[in-house]
Amino acid sequence: MNTGLRIQLSLMMFLQYFIWGSWYVTLGTYLLQTLKFTGEQNGLAYGAFAIAAIVAPFFVGMIADRFFATQKVLGILHIIGAGFMFLLTLINDFPTFYICLFVYTLCYTPTMALTNSICFRQLEKPGEQMPGIRVLGTVGWIAAGLFIDFLGVGTQATPMLIASVASLVLGFYCFSLPHTPPVKKEGPVTIREVLGLDALALMKNPSFAILVIASVLVCIPLSFYYSSANVFLVEAGVENVTSKMALGQASELIFMLLMPLFFVRLGVKKMMLLGMAAWIARYLLFAYGNNETAVWMFYGGILLHGICYDFFFLMGQIYVDNKAPVHLKSAAQGMITLATYGIGMLIGTWLSGKVVDAYSVTTNEVVSHQWQQIWMVPAFLSVGVLILFALFFREKEEKKKVSVQA
C-alpha cells in the first residue's frame, strides 16, 4: 500500500471518530447536569443513535453499493450532519432536541459502515492492513477527549459545536478520497435491494448468524457504559473525566495493534468470549471502586476498553468483510452496525434509562445516583450472555468431536 493512500484513509478515520468522540462521551453529563433532563430522557437520547443505526445503514449501503460513489455519499452525509449538530447547541427542550439529534444520527450512523467499506475496497490485504488504518480512528477519539478537557467544556454544548465543525471539514475532505465507485450489477432494482434484505442471506451461515446475535446481546449491557460512565465518574469526584476516559481508547489502540498475535493464538470464538468477560470485569470495577481508596478500579475499568472493543467489534468488522460478496460489502457492514449500535443499543439505552431513574436520589434539587446498584445490572446481564455463548460454543465443539470419532 502506497504512503499517500495510507495517509488519506488514516485521516478519514481520524476525523470520523474525532467527531463521534467529541459529543458522544459528554452528552449524558450535558443532558443530566446542564439541561436537567431525566435519566429516561438521557436513555432515549442515546437510543436515537440506536434507532438510526437500524433505519439508515442498509439503505445507504445499498446506494453506495449500486448507484453512487461511496466517498460522495459519505461527504454529503457529513455535511448535512454538521448542520443538525450545530442546531443541537441551540436547543434546550427535550422533544426538539430529540428530533434534531435523531436526524443527525440518521446522517452519522451510516458513515461508520461507509468508511469501513472504502478502506476494504481500497486496501489490497484488508485483514492485515485495516487495523493500522482503523487505529487512527482511536487516536481521533482520544484527541477529542483531550481537547475537550483542555478547554474545560465537558458540561457545556461546546463539544457538539466542535463535532459540527469537524463534520463539515470531513464532509468536504471526503470528495478528495480515492474514487470508490458502486459495484455495478445487472438487472432492475428490487425492493429487497432497497431495504438491504439481500444481506440477510448471510445469516444462513451459522458463524455469521452467531456473530450477529452475540452483537445484539452484548450491546444491551454495553449501553450502560456509553450513556452513564461519564456522569458516573463526574459524580464520583474524578477530575478531567473526558481525557481520563480517553485512556480506554489508548488501550484500544494498543490491543488493536496486538490483534493479529491474539488471533493466531486464540481464534475468533475465544477472542469474542474474552471480550465479553472483560465487560463483566469493567462493570464490577465501576461498582466497587471509589475516588478515595480504590480509584485504581476506575482506571482499571476504563483501560479494559481495549479488550472489550477490539476483541469483539473490530474482529466482527473484518469477519463480515471476508464473508460478504463484493456487491454486498457495504450492506453487510450496515448489518453489523445494525446489530451492534442498532438493536442491542436500542434495548440497552431504554433499559439503562429506566435503571438510572430507579436508583436516582434528589436532595435540594440536586440529583445523585446509587451507582453500585446501577453497575451491577449490566454486570449480571453480561454474565448471562457469556454463559449462553460459552455453552453454545462448547456444544458445537462436542458435536465436532462426535463427528470425527464416528
Task: Tell me the domain boundaries of the chain.
Answer: 3-180+197-397
Residue 304 contacts residue 281 (beta carbons within 8 Å) = yes
What pLDDT was estimated at residue 77? Answer: 94
Select the more confidently predicted residue: 375 or 219.
Answer: 375
Contacts of 90 by beta carbon, 8 Å cutoff, 6+ apart = none
What pLDDT was estimated at residue 142? Answer: 86
Interatomic CA distance for residues 358 and 161, integer angstroms:
32
Section 282-310 average pLDDT? 87
Residue 52 contacts residue 357 (beta carbons within 8 Å) = no
Contacts of 2 by beta carbon, 8 Å cutoff, 6+ apart = none
* Secondary structure of residue 342 in the 3-state scheme: helix
Residue 48 contacts residue 98 (beta carbons within 8 Å) = yes
Residue 107 contacts residue 290 (beta carbons within 8 Å) = no
Residue 341 contacts residue 219 (beta carbons within 8 Å) = yes
Interatomic CA distance for residues 71 and 131, integer angstroms:
20
Q: Which CATH superfamily is domain 3-180+197-397 in?
A: MFS general substrate transporter like domains (1.20.1250.20)
What is the 8-class DSSP label of residue 178? P
Query: Is a pLDDT exceeding 70 seen at residue 380?
Result: yes
Alpha helices for 123-180 (secondary structure H) = 126-151, 158-173
What pLDDT was estimated at residue 375? Answer: 93
Query: Is a pLDDT exceeding 60 seen at residue 355?
Result: yes
Residue 29 contacts residue 313 (beta carbons within 8 Å) = no
Query: Is a pLDDT exceeding 50 seen at residue 404?
Result: no
Select the more confidently predicted residue: 136 or 342.
Answer: 136
Which helix (H) or strand (E) element contains residue 366? strand 366-369
Residue 290 contacts residue 238 (beta carbons within 8 Å) = no
Count Cβ atoms below 10 Å from residue 265 Cβ, excluding itself.
Answer: 9
Section 105-110 average pLDDT? 90
Section 166-174 average pLDDT? 96
Using N-to-C axis directions, what is the helix angle for 315-323 and 329-337, rounded to 10°? 150
Section 353-360 average pLDDT? 87
Contacts of 46 by beta carbon, 8 Å cutoff, 6+ apart = 27, 28, 223, 226, 227, 345, 349, 352, 353
Residue 378 contacts residue 225 (beta carbons within 8 Å) = yes
Tell me how long the chain is: 406
What pLDDT was estimated at residue 402? Answer: 47
Using N-to-C axis directions, what is the helix angle for 345-358 and 371-405, rounded to 10°? 140
* Secondary structure of residue 367 in the 3-state scheme: strand
Longest dimension (CA), the chain: 72
Interatomic CA distance for residues 380 and 361, integer angstroms:
23
Interatomic CA distance for residues 229 and 217, integer angstroms:
20
Residue 97 contacts residue 91 (beta carbons within 8 Å) = yes
Query: Is a pLDDT exceeding 60 seen at residue 145?
Result: yes
Average per-residue pLDDT for the chain: 82
Of all residues in the chain, the percent with pLDDT exceeding 90 is 24
Residue 141 contacts residue 306 (beta carbons within 8 Å) = no
Cell numbers linked to 211: 456473530
Count Cβ atoms below 10 Å from residue 93 Cβ, excluding itself.
Answer: 9
Cell numbers linked to 326: 463484493
Select the more confidently predicted residue: 373 or 361.
Answer: 373
Count Cβ atoms below 10 Å from residue 173 Cβ, excluding itself.
Answer: 17
Interatomic CA distance for residues 57 and 332, integer angstroms:
9
Query: Is a pLDDT exceeding 80 seen at residue 167?
Result: yes
AA identity, residue 144:
A
What pLDDT was estimated at residue 118? Answer: 87
Select the more confidently predicted residue: 329 or 313.
Answer: 313
Name the nearest CA neighbour of 95 among 46, 44, 163.
44
Select the more confidently predicted residue: 225 or 391.
Answer: 225
Name the nearest CA neighbour of 220 among 284, 288, 276.
276
193-239 pLDDT per residue, tens: 555 566 677 777 776 777 778 778 888 888 888 888 888 888 888 88
**Residue 14's pLDDT band (boundaries 50, 70, 90)?**
very high
Question: CA torsion sign, 287 to 290 to 291 to 296?
Answer: negative
Select the more confidently predicted residue: 323 or 155.
Answer: 155
**Residue 105's pLDDT band (boundaries 50, 70, 90)?**
very high
Burial 210-245 (b: 16+ CB within 10 A, else e): bbbbbbbbbbbbbbbbbbbbbbbbbbbebebbbbbb
Residue 77 contacts residue 159 (beta carbons within 8 Å) = no
